[in-house]
Amino acid sequence: MPDGSPVGAALIGGGENEFDRDTVLRRREPGVYDADLSAGWMAGPAMHGGYLLALAGRALTDTLRDPDPFTITAHYLTASRPGPAVLRTEASRPGRAFSSGHALLTQLDDNGAEVHRVRAIATFGDLGQLTDDVRTTAMPPSLPPPENCVNAVKEAPDGFPLPEMLRRLESLLDPSTLGWAMGAPSGRAEVRAWLGFADGRDFDPLGLLMAADALPPTALEMGLDGWFPTVELTVHVRCRPAPGLLRIGVVTRNLAGGMLEEDAEIWDSQDRLVAQSRQLAQIRTAPAS
Amino acid sequence: MPDGSPVGAALIGGGENEFDRDTVLRRREPGVYDADLSAGWMAGPAMHGGYLLALAGRALTDTLRDPDPFTITAHYLTASRPGPAVLRTEASRPGRAFSSGHALLTQLDDNGAEVHRVRAIATFGDLGQLTDDVRTTAMPPSLPPPENCVNAVKEAPDGFPLPEMLRRLESLLDPSTLGWAMGAPSGRAEVRAWLGFADGRDFDPLGLLMAADALPPTALEMGLDGWFPTVELTVHVRCRPAPGLLRIGVVTRNLAGGMLEEDAEIWDSQDRLVAQSRQLAQIRTAPAS
């Protein structure tokens, strides 16, 4: 019934905030979604990895019919470009409290051939159904108050090649982890920041997937210069975040073989560790094309 | 040519060591592999998660035609049982130095219906082709010499429900992280051990995938009692391990919502950090069925 079916029913997500509008999907058929990757979420020459992870997460929210990603991993195969993309998903529902699925994001290249961009798997459930026991030795990152941090957009030096996606965010960086921006990297592989959406949207689990990859690369503060594309990113969402700015700390312990890991801990305004993430990134010191 | 095709060509893996023999696959057709899950690798009521990860890794080694998993993530959907299993794989080769793929492990239930057991994605390449630069702040776990550690098999108390897979390993546990076994857990969420194969096999990247899940759960040393099934396990293999025992340290920072993460660092006999892993595990305090 092409004429009788309500158009609105095929839209997944959407709303007035930039992040929701830019991650809206159109369900073409069960398990097949059309997306339009927004140039507003580019990070250098490619689409931002956390944005792509959130898109995969949104598709799986619909496919799996569970609200929250408990754990999701994406592998970034080729650099995604702004414009049309297709997400194909596959579901497993083993009959427990969890569901699980796979998503493949593709685009067409200049010759019209389908290219694999991102592959993801995830386990979903309902964070609201979890027990509220907490035993943690993790501590929120030590950060100066927001007004003493460096606004990544407003205080960027003239001519700085600001990743476009930073304009969608309120990214308030700890000056003590920003030595690289002054030409004096500390050598310590740590970055810390407060993070919000520029338009005031509150964070939800899909927003956390984006946030897990939103800070400057730790490699810069290690004194490396170049481009650090993500090979793989895993996010564990442990709790629905309270409204307000997030605090994020990212550390790297091991650079080897031209790759490094970045571990992020994300805390909400109620001092809860709402997500833990790890990514494996490449070190490309040649200039990005 | 059913009669003319060499039978041996369809076998992936194999050899004289237990781990290789128990992870051998038969390629039925491109991207479809038959496995026979060995009861020797059970961990309690289900197959061991690291063993299953290695099986998925072996299938992808063949599908992707690259030797080494750089990063692999598995989601455990239902408890795998000893006996026949099928792995179906899917590949992406975006034309760079990396390849990437998906693997789904299934078994038949008692009614002959196919059940999804494990879903994995991975990025493969050749660890031998990586640069040998290393900058790390990670330190090998502090462990007493092997002869002062506790042999998990030989020194297990009478009647202790030893996971069967431990008999395939030489697991030498740091007594200072074994309080739980004496009824006096330290409360610190840390476990450390030396690890080898019982039959003297050396570790390779597939062996590391198993090793990432081979130590007792940190939850025991936190004083929890129960079963801690893995929801998701990600392993980054950073380097081919040298021969000899591994040193492994596992820590948990955050228990919340009935789940906890376990971070493992695996070091080889040449003091190199050869793998980093993280898993998300459930806490089930009810007795396992």
Give pLDDT tens digits for A157-172.
Answer: 888 889 999 999 999 9
Q: What is the DSSP string of A41-101?
A: GEETTEE-HHHHHHHHHHHHHHHH--SEEEEEEEEE-S---SEEEEEEEEEE--SSS-EEE
Shortest distance between the Cα of B136 and any Cα of chain A, in A, equals 4
Output the average pLDDT for chain B: 93
A171 touches chain B (CB under 8 A): no
Task: Kindly report the backbone phi and psi dihedral angles of residue A74, in degrees, each rounded to the nearest multiple of 5, phi listed first.
Answer: -120, 140
Per-residue pLDDT for A76 more than 60?
yes
Look at A58-62, B62-66, B98-102, B283-287 and tell me which has the smallest mean pLDDT. Answer: B283-287
Q: DSSP character for A7?
A: G
Per-residue pLDDT for B287 more than 80?
no
**Residue pairs spanning A and B at CB distance below 8 A:** 171
In which band, very low, low, confident or very high, does the pLDDT at A95 lie, cut at 50, 70 and 90? low
How far is Cα B289 from Cα B226, in angstroms, rounded to an integer?
11
- Using alpha carbons, list the distances in angstroms from residue A206 to A17, A189, B65, B232: 13, 27, 35, 19
In which band, very low, low, confident or very high, does the pLDDT at A286 lie, cut at 50, 70 and 90? low
Shortest distance between the Cα of A74 and any Cα of chain B, in A, equals 8
For residue B281, count other CB atoms closer than 10 A to its CB: 25
Output the average pLDDT for chain A: 93
Residue of higher predicted confidence among B122 and A4: B122
Match 């069967």 to its residue by tokens: B164
Q: CA nearest A222 in B: which residue?
A: B135
B59 within 8 A of B103, measured Cβ to Cβ: yes
Could you read off the pLDDT of B179-228 as tens digits, one per residue? 999 899 999 999 999 999 999 999 999 999 999 999 999 999 999 998 99
Number of H helices, E strands in chain B: 4, 18
% of chain A residues with pLDDT over 70? 94
Task: Determine, for residues B253 and A133 on separate chains, whether the beta-carbon distance falls below 8 Å.
Answer: no
Contact list, B253 vs chain A (CB under 8 Å): 136-138, 273, 276
Task: Determine, for residues A133 and B222 on separate chains, whether the beta-carbon distance falls below 8 Å.
Answer: no
A88 touches chain B (CB under 8 A): no
Predicted confidence at residue B158, as pLDDT, reads 87
Shortest distance between the Cα of B127 and any Cα of chain A, in A, equals 8
% of chain A residues with pLDDT over 90? 86
Residue B90 CA to its chain's centroid (Å): 21
B222 within 8 A of B249, measured Cβ to Cβ: no
Q: CA nearest B134 in A: which residue?
A: A256
A81 touches chain B (CB under 8 A): no
Predicted confidence at residue B289, as pLDDT, reads 42
Contact list, A273 vs chain B (CB under 8 Å): 253-254, 256
**Which ipTM was obtained for this model?**
0.94
Could you read off the pLDDT of A237-258 as tens digits, one per residue? 999 999 999 999 999 999 999 9
How far is Cα B109 from Cα B132, in angstroms, rounded to an integer?
47
In which band, very low, low, confident or very high, does the pLDDT at A216 lie, cut at 50, 70 and 90? very high
Q: CA nearest B275 in A: which residue?
A: A254
Please report the residues numbered 117 through 156 in chain A whose beta carbons come closer than 8 angstroms to any beta carbon of chain B.
Answer: 119-123, 127, 130-138
Q: CA nearest B136 in A: which residue?
A: A254
Predicted confidence at residue B3, as pLDDT, reads 41
Predicted confidence at residue B96, as pLDDT, reads 66
How far is Cα B136 from Cα B15, in angstroms, rounded to an integer?
35
A42 touches chain B (CB under 8 A): no
Predicted confidence at residue A63, as pLDDT, reads 96
B266 within 8 A of A150, measured Cβ to Cβ: no
Match 């754990």 to its residue by tokens: A71
B123 within 8 A of B71, measured Cβ to Cβ: yes
Task: Determine, for residues B135 and A255 on separate chains, whether the beta-carbon distance falls below 8 Å.
Answer: yes
B232 within 8 A of B75, measured Cβ to Cβ: yes
How far is Cα B155 from Cα B174, in angstroms, rounded to an integer?
13
Contact list, B77 vs chain A (CB under 8 Å): 92, 94, 98, 100
Residue B35 CA to its chain's centroid (Å): 16
Mean pLDDT within A101-122: 97
Task: Determine, for residues B133 and A257 on separate chains, whether the beta-carbon distance falls below 8 Å.
Answer: yes
B106 within 8 A of B86, measured Cβ to Cβ: yes
In which band, very low, low, confident or very high, does the pLDDT at B286 lie, cut at 50, 70 and 90? low
Q: DSSP character for B49?
A: H
Q: Which helix (H) or strand (E) holds B208?
A: helix B205-211
Per-residue pLDDT for A7 more than 50?
no
